[in-house]
Amino acid sequence: MVEHQRRERSERPEPGGPAPLSPALFEDPDCAARPQPVRVFGGKWTAVVLRCLEDGRSRRFTELRVPLHWITPKVLTETLRAMERDGLLSRTEYDENPPRVEYALTALGRSLIGPLDVACGWARAHGPEVTRARESYDTESP
């Protein structure tokens, strides 16, 4: 019942309160043409691939699979392709037998290491609070 009251209250603007959000909030025509940060950095496994390549060395697929053993080869391939498409990493094919392919971060990809460090620092500092909030929510929710 409390949840229903909260939802009902939030749908009606309070007199003198903030203006309601516009349905066109994200319809800026200039934004549609630009890549959104959530799309660029939003891949579930992008951050861990960044960590694997942050030392500046090129890595083969099989080398990446060692620390990322819980990611299926298919999903890792999709992640690498998406990162290459976004310009975060380069893929170099060598004409050898057997063929060799290596991945390395581009300058754009390396520019994400700083923000990733900040996000990781925030997670370390506030992880216990998030855990407590989740436990509290889970025990109070139906």
* pLDDT at residue 1, rounded to an integer: 42
Asked if pLDDT for residue 35 goes beyond 90, the answer is no
Asked if pLDDT for residue 132 goes beyond 70, the answer is yes
* pLDDT at residue 14, rounded to an integer: 62
Asked if pLDDT for residue 41 goes beyond 70, the answer is no
Note whether 60 and 100 are within 8 A (CB).
Answer: yes
pLDDT digits (tens, 9 = 90+) for 55-75: 999 999 999 999 999 999 999
| Nearest residue to 104 via CA among 49, 66, 65 | 49
Please, what is the average pLDDT of the chain? 83
Identify each DSSP E strand in 1-142 by its residue range: 59-60, 89-94, 100-105
| Nearest residue to 92 via CA among 84, 102, 106 | 102
Q: Tell me which residue has tokens 């050898």.
A: 96
Distance (Å, rounded) from C-alpha 20 to C-alpha 2? 22
